[in-house]
Amino acid sequence: ETPYETLHDADALFIATEWPEFRTPDFDKVNALLKNKVIFDGRNLYDLEQMKELGYTYYSVGRETIHG
């Protein structure tokens, strides 16, 4: 499976790695596959403002929670 295929019908995306393919995902694809726009980011990969603009509920380590 590709990283995108694993998101099909998932309730949320949980990031626990800093692999390059997860640093700059195609958020249009992510949106189309996830049931909910929720990301748990254990590596702080994504910009808080970007997550806010994209409408995600975004939990990251040691930073504010974004409610989409």
The per-residue pLDDT for range 17-56, each reduced to its tens digit, is: 998 888 999 999 999 999 999 999 999 999 999 999 999 9
Examine residue 47 and state whether it is found in any structural domain, yes or no.
yes
pLDDT at 3: 86
- The domain tally of the chain equals 1
Examine residue 67 and state whether it is found in any structural domain, yes or no.
no
Alpha-carbon torsion, ordered 12, 68, 19, 17, to 10 deg: -60
Q: Is the pLDDT of residue 1 over 90?
A: no
Residue 46 CB partners (closer than 8 Å, separation 6+): 39, 58, 60
Examine residue 40 and state whether it is found in any structural domain, yes or no.
yes
Domain range spanning residue 20?
5-60
pLDDT at 39: 98
pLDDT at 49: 98
pLDDT at 13: 97
Examine residue 65 and state whether it is found in any structural domain, yes or no.
no
